[in-house]
Amino acid sequence: TQLLEQSPQFLSIQEGENLTVYCNSSSVFSSLQWYRQEPGEGPVLLVTVVTGGEVKKLKRLTFQFGDARKDSSLHITAAQPGDTGLYLCAGRLSGAGSYQLTFGKGTKLSVIP
């Protein structure tokens, strides 16, 4: 069982469509991050959320942290081919001495022109 479950695993959509990907867990996190990884590159941070219920917007991307700090979602509006990549959520467990950043398997997004 994975600590962080991401869904869907794969998503292929047409340019201009909207989409949402999810990151779920039964554990509570002190902070959660979303990274995007393009082919041949390492992951790059998109956002960090720390407060339950927090919503952050980054241009066409909207990130939400669940009220209980156990889950998160990423919504993309009017997807573009440049959004193609592997979206990874990663979290640090709540509790003393929990510094390790644990990753989900990711959602592989393809945006077709």
Partner 1 sequence: ETGVTQTPRHLVMGMTNKKSLKCEQHLGHNAMYWYKQSAKKPLELMFVYNFKEQTENNSVPSRFSPECPNSSHLFLHLHTLQPEDSALYLCASSQDFTENTGELFFGEGSRLTVL
* Binding residues for partner 1 (CB under 8 A): 2, 4, 30-31, 33, 35, 40-45, 48, 50, 88, 90, 92, 99-106
* Minimal distance, residue 14 CB to partner 1, in Å: 26
Q: Is 89 helix (H, G, I), strand (E, B) or coil?
A: strand
Query: To the nearest whole angstrom, how small is the minimum distance from the Cβ of residue 50 to partner 1?
Result: 6
DSSP code string of 2-46? -SSEEE-SEEEEETT--EEEEEE-SS-EEEEEEEEE-TTS--EEE
Residue (13 or 93) nearer to partner 1, CB:
93
Query: CB of 105: closest distance to partner 1 in angstroms?
Result: 5
Residues β-bridged to residue 76: 19, 61
Q: Given the complex with partner 1, which of 96 and 113 has the nearer CB atom?
A: 96
